Amino acid sequence: MLGMMMQSQLTLTEVMRHANANFPNSEIISVTADNPRHRYRYREAFARTAQLANALQKLGAEPGDRIATLAWNDYRHFELYYATSCSGLVCHTINPRLFPEQIAYIINHAEDRWLFIDPMFVPLLEALADQLTTVKGYVVLTDSDHMPVTDLPNAHCYEELLALEPENFDWPLLDEGTAAALCYTSGTTGNPKGVLYSHRAMVLHTYGVLMPDVFALQQDEAVLPVVPMFHVNAWAVPYAVPAVGAKLVFPGPKMGCGETLSNLIREEGVTIAAGVPTVWLALLKHLREHDQTVPSLNRVVVGGSACPWSVMEEFEQKHGVYTHHAWGMTEMSPLGTYNARVPADLPAEEARARRLKQGRAAFGVEMRIVDEQGQPPPHDGQAFGALQVRGPWICERYFKAEESALTSDGWFDTGDVATIDPQGYLGITDRTKDVIKSGGEWISSIELENFAMTQEGIAEAAVIGVSHERWAERPLLVVVAAPGAALDTRAIIRAFEGHVAKWWIPDDCILVEELPHTATGKISKKDLRQQLAEYRWPEETPA
C-alpha cells in the first residue's frame, strides 16, 4: 500500500522560495575585490538570482549545461549557486588553487560551457583559454568600473549582464534527481574525479547539516563559512543558512586572513563559523597578538583534516567558543560525522579524548569498518578497518564513469582507515594510502600527529612511514617550528613515552622549514614522501 502524501520534489528551488518568502530581510554580507563590505538582503539576492537566470538563458545555456565558477565566497557566487541549479543547469565549482593543468583537465572533462570568474583569476584563464575546448565564453564577476582589460574570448561583465534582465524568472519544475552541482576531488592520486550532486541529495544533506546535534542553525544567527564555496558546496552552508533565514557573512578572498575574520566576526555578530584547522590557527594568532576576543562567536566547526587539541583548547579557554570536530569528504556532500557537545560533567581526560574523535554519524549516513579479510572488526575504539559508508547524499559513481564506485554490496569505500568505539564515535586514523605498517601492525599517523601538536613550539607536524629493514616500515615525524621556537628533536621523541604504545613512538624526528600542502590546505603526504625519498634512518635506530 502506498502512502497518500503529496509528491513534492526535493529541490534547491524550494530552499530559495522558502528563504525569499519567509526571510526577505535577512542579510548577506560579503568582502569582494571591489567592495570591502558589501551588504544586501535575501530579497535583493533572489531578485538578482532571477536576473542571472535570465542572463544565462540569453547566453544560450541549456538544461544540464555545466556552468563553471572560479570564485571566492561572496554574494555573486551565492547568486550563481541558485541561478544555475534552480534553472536546471549544473553549478560546477572549481578550486582555483589547483595546478593550472588540473584546472584545464577538469574544465574539459566537465565540458563546461561558461566560466564565471573572479577578476583575480583572469590571467590564469587567459593562459589556459586556448586549451579549453568546450567553453563558449567568460563572465567576470565584477562591475563595469572594475572590469579588467582582457583578451579572453567572448568576455562579459557580470553586473552589465544582470542590469539588462528582469527581476523574476519562471523557475522550471525540476525532478529531484536532476543534477544541481559538480565538484571534483583534488586528485591526490591520478586525475581528479567529478562528483555530481542531485537536488534531492543537496536538500536531504541540508536537513542533515541543520540537525540539532549538527550545525543546529537558528534564524537569529550569523554564519561565517570560511570553508570555500569552490570546494564541496562550502559544507552546504549556502543552502542551510537560507533554509533557516539566518545571516550569511562571506569573507571573499580573505579566507586565510586572521584580521579580516576577526573583524567580520566582531562587527557582524557572527555566532558560528566553519572551516579547516589552518584558518583557525590564523584567526587565533591574530586574536592573541592583538589582544582581541570574539564575544558573539559561540561555536566553530572544524573538519577537512584532524583538528589539533591546541585549537579546541585555545578557543574554549580564551574565547568561550566550543569547537565541533566533523568529518566528511567530497563524495559525501560532504557531511559524514559530527562531534556534538560532550556532557559538561564528563571527566576532562575523557572529554578531550572524545572531542578529538570525528564524532557520530549524522542521521542519513550509515558507516561500517571492514578489515583486510572483509570482516567487521569490533567497535572497541581500538581495532582499525577500512571505513565504508552509504546514504542518500553519498556518491554512487563518478561523473562520466561507466562503473559504479560502490563495493559489490553497495557501500562506498572512503579511502580512510578508522576505528568506531562502543558509543559510536568514529576515529579517523589515516588515509588508506598513508597508513604505517610496522611488523604487520598498523600505526595511526593522525594519533601521533595529534600528540606531537600538543608539544610546545611545534607549528605543524606530519608522520609518514619510511621503509625499515626489520619492521617493513617505521614512523618518521616531520615538524615545523613555531616562529622563534628552538626545537630539540630528541626531546620531542622522548615526550611520546607513556602517551602512545611504545612501538608506535616515531624512530626519528626531523625539522623542516615548511610542509607541502594540497590545494585544499591539507598536508600532502604524497609530496612529503617524495621530498624525503632519500631519507635514511640514523644508524642508532633501535632494531
| DSSP reduced 3-state for 451 | helix
Rounded Cα–Cα distance for residues 489 and 484 (Å): 15
With binding defined as CB under 6 A, does residue 51 bind ligand ADP? no
Which is the catalytic residue, given 221, 331, 447, 449? 331
In terms of phi and psi (left: phi > 0; alpha: psi -120 to 50; beta: otherwise), the region of 101 is alpha
Which residues inside 217-236 make contact with ligand ADP, applying CB under 6 A? 232
Among this protein's residues, is 537 annotated catalytic? no
Cell of 431: 588515509
Other beta carbons less than 10 A from residue 128's beta carbon: 19
Among this protein's residues, is 437 annotated catalytic? yes
Burial class (CB in 10 A: 0-12, 13-18, 19+), 290: exposed
Q: Which stretch binds ligand ADP (CB under 6 A): 113-121, 134-142, 328-336, 365-373?
A: 328-336
Rounded Cα–Cα distance for residues 166 and 399 (Å): 34
Q: Are residues 40 and 28 in contact, defined by beta-carbon separation less than 8 angstroms?
A: yes
Rounded Cα–Cα distance for residues 418 and 416 (Å): 6
In the bound complex, what is the minimum distance in angstroms from residue 300's beta carbon to ligand ADP? 13
Q: How many residues bind ligand ADP (CB under 6 A)?
A: 23
Residue indicated by cell numbers 586572513: 257
With binding defined as CB under 6 A, does residue 193 bind ligand ADP? no
Which is the catalytic residue, given 134, 396, 442, 541? 442
In the bound complex, what is the minimum distance in angstroms from residue 306's beta carbon to ligand ADP? 4
State which residue, 73 or 358, has the beta carbon closest to ligand ADP: 358
State which residue, 321 or 519, has the beta carbon closest to ligand ADP: 519
Rounded Cα–Cα distance for residues 465 and 504 (Å): 11
Among this protein's residues, is 442 annotated catalytic? yes
Task: Find, among 236, 250, 298, 246, the residue nearest to 272 by Cα.
Answer: 298
In the bound complex, what is the minimum distance in angstroms from residue 246's beta carbon to ligand ADP? 24
DSSP 262-317: HHHHHHHT--EEEE-HHHHHHHHHHHHHTT---TT--EEEE-SSPPPHHHHHHHHH
With binding defined as CB under 6 A, does residue 319 bind ligand ADP? no
With binding defined as CB under 6 A, does residue 198 bind ligand ADP? no
With binding defined as CB under 6 A, does residue 450 bind ligand ADP? no
> Quick one: DSSP state of residue 342?
P
Q: Which stretch binds ligand ADP (CB under 6 A): 251-259, 263-271, 324-332, 531-539?
A: 324-332
Q: Which stretch binds ligand ADP (CB under 6 A): 67-75, 236-244, 320-328, 480-488?
A: 320-328
194: β partners: 184
In the bound complex, what is the minimum distance in angstroms from residue 376's beta carbon to ligand ADP? 20
With binding defined as CB under 6 A, does residue 395 bind ligand ADP? no
With binding defined as CB under 6 A, does residue 391 bind ligand ADP? no
With binding defined as CB under 6 A, does residue 354 bind ligand ADP? no
Q: Are residues 284 and 300 in contact, defined by beta-carbon separation less than 8 angstroms?
A: no
Among this protein's residues, is 433 annotated catalytic? no
State which residue, 144 or 432, has the beta carbon closest to ligand ADP: 432
State which residue, 49 or 233, has the beta carbon closest to ligand ADP: 233
State which residue, 141 or 202, has the beta carbon closest to ligand ADP: 202
State which residue, 157 or 389, has the beta carbon closest to ligand ADP: 389
Could you say which of 49, 185, 278, 419 contacts ligand ADP (CB under 6 A)? Answer: 185
Could you say which of 87, 178, 233, 358 contacts ligand ADP (CB under 6 A)? Answer: 358
State which residue, 18 or 517, has the beta carbon closest to ligand ADP: 517
Q: How far is CA 359 from CA 184, 277, 327, in A?
A: 25, 16, 8
DSSP 176-224: TTSEEEEEE---SSSS--EEEEEHHHHHHHHHHHHSTTTT---TT-EEE
Task: Find, among 279, 344, 45, the residue nearest to 167 by Cα.
Answer: 45
With binding defined as CB under 6 A, does residue 245 bind ligand ADP? no
Other beta carbons less than 10 A from residue 258's beta carbon: 21
Residue indicated by cell numbers 563558449: 136
Could you say which of 252, 304, 385, 391 contacts ligand ADP (CB under 6 A)? Answer: 304
Rounded Cα–Cα distance for residues 321 and 294 (Å): 9
Which residues inside 507-526 make contact with ligand ADP, applying CB under 6 A? 518, 520, 522
With binding defined as CB under 6 A, does residue 275 bind ligand ADP? no
With binding defined as CB under 6 A, does residue 460 bind ligand ADP? no
Show the site string, 401-440: x = touches ligand ADP by CB under 6 A, - = not: -------------xxx-----------x--x---------
Residue indicated by cell numbers 562579459: 156
Which is the catalytic residue, given 49, 185, 429, 518? 185
Residue indicated by cell numbers 619510511: 466
Q: Are residues 404 and 396 in contact, defined by beta-carbon separation less than 8 angstroms?
A: yes
With binding defined as CB under 6 A, does residue 306 bind ligand ADP? yes
With binding defined as CB under 6 A, does residue 339 bind ligand ADP? no
In the bound complex, what is the minimum distance in angstroms from residue 334's beta carbon to ligand ADP? 6
In the bound complex, what is the minimum distance in angstroms from residue 166's beta carbon to ligand ADP? 38
φ, ψ for residue 208 (rounded to 5)? -60, -45
Task: Find, among 503, 493, 497, 433, the residue nearest to 461 by Cα.
Answer: 493
Which is the catalytic residue, given 437, 441, 456, 503? 437
Q: At what angle do helices 75-86 and 42-58 cross, to 10 degrees?
A: 60
Catalytic residues: 185, 331, 437, 442
Where does this chain bind ligand ADP (CB under 6 A)? 185-186, 232, 303-306, 325-330, 334, 358, 414-416, 428, 431, 518, 520, 522
